[in-house]
Amino acid sequence: MLFNSYKFIFIFFPCVAFIYYLIGKFNSYYSSIWLSIASLFFYYIFSNNDIYILIFSILLNYSIRQYIYSNRGLLIIAVIINLGLLSYFKYLNLILNTFNYSGTINVVLPIGISFFTFTQIAFLVDSYYTKIEKIGVLDYILFVTYFPHLIAGPIIHHGSMMPQFKKPDVSFKIVNFNIGITIFIIGLSKKLLIADPLSKYADFIFLNSDSVNVISAWVGVLAYTFQIYFDFSGYCDMAIGISKILNINLPINFDSPYKAKNIIDFWRRWHITLSSFLRDYLYIPMGGGKKGKSRKYFNLIITMLLGGIWHGSNWNFLLWGGLHGLYLYVNHSYTYLISNNSIEKKYFYVILISKFSWLITFISVVFSWVLFRAATVDDALNVYSGMLGLKGVVIPESLNKILPNFLENYFNFGQIFLESKLLPNTLSLFEATFLIGLSIYIVLCGKNSNMVPNIYNDLINKTIKKSRTEIIYPLTIGIVFSLSLLSLSKNSPFLYFQF
Amino acid sequence: MNNKYLNNLLISTLLSTLLIVIINFIIDPIGIFNKINITNLNDDKYYIREHEGFFKAQLAINTRPSTIILGTSRAEFGINPVIFNKIFDHNVNAINLATSYQSYEESFLLAIAANRNGSLKEILFGLDYFVSGNQSFKPPGRGVENYAPEAKIAYLASLSTFNNSIKTIYKSSKNVPRCTEYDSFNISNGHRCFPTVKKSTAELFFENEQAYAYYIYKKNSLSSFDLEYYKRLLEYGYANHINIELFISPAHARQWVLLYHCGLWDDWQNWKKELVSINESVAYSYNAKPFNIWDFSGFNNITTETVPAQGSNELMKWYYESSHYKYITGDLIIDTIYNNTNYLDFGLKINNKNIISHLYFVNKGLLNWREINKVNDIELARICKK
């Protein structure tokens, strides 16, 4: 059952929310139990027998957690068990393929395992360092399985979540409902109206990477760049929106990442909860930046490599992580040189870099997505060749016919462009251009969905005109909701389910 | 304020959904309802091709036909159902349900849909080897969901349909001609018109053969064919007293030589044997006379029509290109099948008794054609090797 399905929107979630508030009128603790049952049911619908792995992992970690405070040996064992379980499901196929194993073992990754494993490792590590007050098993089950975040994050931290689960606010609040439904609709529309239509271009180009040219390669890669952002941030918005309706605040996971002006900034805006996890539980324990510059860069690159391979059993992910590690190394080195006046700020290229910092960052990120999306390194190299023009510049056939006599054909240009194909007899170049243009506009000029609560508060406090409050915003959101609902017919899972 | 926000949001959602559904119903870009036709607004249906599986499924359900045509795009372009009126000398409710890349499973589903109220009496089934393989390409959107009762609602309440409605209005207002850049369908009988493209016949032959060699004969393995649904369709015919006339499509001789150079000749011959064998064994199990199977393929006076030279604007009499025959060729097929008219060596009824000798003559025809058309033969071999 996907968030973007009729069953979830019109049956599952309304039932869960209604019963949650109904029970809450009598006893808020029972509301938490209800939410745990609903979450386990949600996971069961998704994954069938994988629920046993989830329950095993929860009970094991809950039992260990009680004795882990200051017990280093137990912590190491617990982390090894968790990572071992994750690695078994995630990397066994890769290892077997690497060693050309010809047997029939085919391990299927339980959905959400990366997220619930990381959530629990963080919990165990913190329990080792700090004596966390006693937590009931039901609270712990809800903390791990809470359905809005279970499948694809955001990775939640017990510090911010446990108090909300222990003493849930079960009084229905129309303000939170309105904010929640608005964020949910924004997320739903990101997924259905932008990410899904873009996916066919990205899928087509990466599937036919051997026949791309410069235009189709860029269209495919840009399509994927925006697809992954709108898909994943759309999912997170939906999770945040659903939670808000239940008076539970989930952490934000995206903060307009494509507006970043350098790679360090990008990683503070992209998949924030994963970046925070890697920083707090990997980079800092390795020494972070406290053991000298060389060690800092080494730690950074190792962190990014592991962050890359976390995404899956494919060498491309490792290369993607490595490339971002390299980007961060360059970024940190450059920042260091500038801040220590080792480079004269008046130099032309320094001015140029600062002027074009957004573009450089954006293109660097776009280039890295090729590795992330391609099925193999060879496919990635094919797409890179296309992007760099090494496979030739092919103007779509219909456009090619009018370009030599552009002025004569000026009035037909719209019609011909409307019918132009990305590659002969394939997808529409016009639609691709429109969707990519719309995406660029939204990510650069649009307001962030994280700002919805602020905007809504401004509406309530009447700092915004009444007409906007009562008419323009709800009508616009209503139209977007309608368009999204009318796009629900396809079963379209989120990209991050595979991780 | 809070309630007003929510109320307006819900009202806006409902009204915009309703508006889109109404627009979709009026414009009807795939021609499912055909209730309102307004010139320069929605009378041309430009988007059937992209949803032809759904269009044909709904045509089968809505029409209650007595005669249907099944098969791939060859039968879809090549058989005009209007000819049945002449053949049977009265108005026959015949529709063309053939679709591009139609698998035997889709043919089977369409036959059942067309016979929902028991009106179906006759099936003309164009058989093509290239959709018989286990790995043959199967276009998306051809499944059972097209026949579900809620399929029409899903069509109306769809943003994709709305997108097509808007583009239909735009194209209609510009009078974009049908059957030129776009394929066009006869909405009432399903016959598809071959687009008039600005290319010479020789160019069309070359492009078509390249596509077949690369995408159909090489990329999608045909080495093991699956005739389960062919068998089930025959069984359905016997069980429901529907006559089925089977025929192997008359693609141009170059297409068969291409098959030879792509290493599929023997498999193609075996496929024919298997068609005959299954037909006779099913008939035996129903204690009935086997359905007729006609073979129009191979090398005969129609399929060996000379292809105009490169650069020539001359059109062919019987063919659009290598794979697709014109509907006047289709008229000959129907005349042969239903009137027993003899067009020399074009079309032969095949059965267990004559199949071996027939294949022997087809083999001979291949050798003969290659000998006479050496330049073409080399060209086709090169296309396959690429």
> Do B115 and B68 meet the contact criterion of CB atoms below 8 Å apart?
no
Any A CB within 8 A of B348 CB: no
Q: How far is A153 from chain B (nearest CA, A)?
A: 28
Residue A314 phi, psi dihedral angles, 5° rounding = -150, 135
CB contact under 8 A, B2 and A486: no
CA dist., res. A317 & res. A303, Å (int): 13
> Do A487 and B160 meet the contact criterion of CB atoms below 8 Å apart?
yes
Mutation target to probe the A interface, by most A beta carbons within 10 A, among B9, B11, B152, B166 is B9
CA dist., res. B19 & res. B25, Å (int): 10
CA dist., res. B207 & res. B180, Å (int): 18
What's the whole-number average pLDDT of chain A?
A: 83
pLDDT for B180: 54
Pair of tokens at residue A217: 């390669």
- Burial class from Cβ neighbours inside 10 Å (0-12, 13-18, 19+) for residue A392 reads exposed
Q: For A425-448, what is each residue's pLDDT tens digit?
A: 566 777 888 899 999 999 998 888
pLDDT for B231: 95
Laid out side by side, the sheet with B348-349 consists of B94-96, B67-70, B122-127, B243-248, B293-295, B348-349
CB contact under 8 A, A486 and B154: no
Percent of chain A with pLDDT over 70: 85
Chain A neighbors of B4, CB-CB under 8 A = 469-470, 474
Q: For B223-281, what is each residue's pLDDT tens digit?
A: 567 889 999 999 999 999 999 999 999 999 999 999 999 988 998 999 999 999 999 99
pLDDT for A499: 63
Closest CA to A16 of A146, A130, A143: A146
Sort strands B67-70 and B122-127 into parallel, antiparallel or unpaired: parallel
User: Nearest Cβ partner of A174 from B3, B8, B157?
Assistant: B3
How many residue pairs bridge chain A and chain B with CB atoms within 8 Å of each other?
Answer: 80
CB contact under 8 A, A477 and B9: yes
CB contact under 8 A, B154 and A489: yes
Q: With cut-offs at 50, 70 and 90, classify the pLDDT of residue B165.
A: very high
> Do A111 and A105 meet the contact criterion of CB atoms below 8 Å apart?
no
> Do A319 and A305 meet the contact criterion of CB atoms below 8 Å apart?
no
Q: E strand or H helix at B94, and its extent?
A: strand B94-96
Sort strands B192-193 and B184-185 into parallel, antiparallel or unpaired: antiparallel
Is the pLDDT reported for residue B220 higher than 70? no
Closest CA to A420 of A440, A403, A407: A403
Ranked by mean pLDDT, the top range of A61-75, B39-53, B275-289 is: B275-289
Q: Any long-range contacts for A82-88 (C-beta under 8 Å, 24+ apart)?
A: A82/A57, A82/A117, A82/A120, A82/A121, A82/A124, A83/A117, A83/A121, A85/A53, A85/A57, A85/A113, A85/A117, A86/A113, A86/A114, A86/A117
Residues of A assigned a catalytic role: 311
What's the whole-number average pLDDT of chain B?
A: 89
Mean pLDDT throughout B137-156?
A: 87
Mean pLDDT throughout B12-41?
A: 92
Q: Which residues make Cβ contacts (< 8 Å) with residue A429, sequence separation at least 6?
A: A215, A219, A396, A399, A417, A420, A421, A422
CB contact under 8 A, A487 and B159: yes
Any B CB within 8 A of A415 CB: yes
Is the pLDDT reported for residue B289 higher than 60? yes
CA dist., res. A210 & res. A333, Å (int): 37
CA dist., res. A60 & res. A76, Å (int): 14
- Burial class from Cβ neighbours inside 10 Å (0-12, 13-18, 19+) for residue A466 reads exposed
pLDDT for B79: 94
Report the amino acid identity of residue A48: N
Of A399-408, B23-32, B173-182, the poorest mean pLDDT is in: A399-408
Closest CA to A107 of A122, A89, A86, A121: A89
* Greater pLDDT, A489 or B348: B348
Q: How far is B370 from chain A (nearest CA, A)?
A: 32
Q: For B2-18, what is each residue's pLDDT tens digit?
A: 688 899 999 999 999 99
Closest CA to B30 of B158, B210, B181, B127: B158
> What Cα–Cα distance (Å) separates residue B7 from each residue in A246, A263, B13, B20, B50?
20, 43, 10, 20, 38
Q: Give yes or no for a cis peptide into A404 (omega within 30° of 0).
A: no
Q: Is the ipTM of this complex over 0.90?
A: no
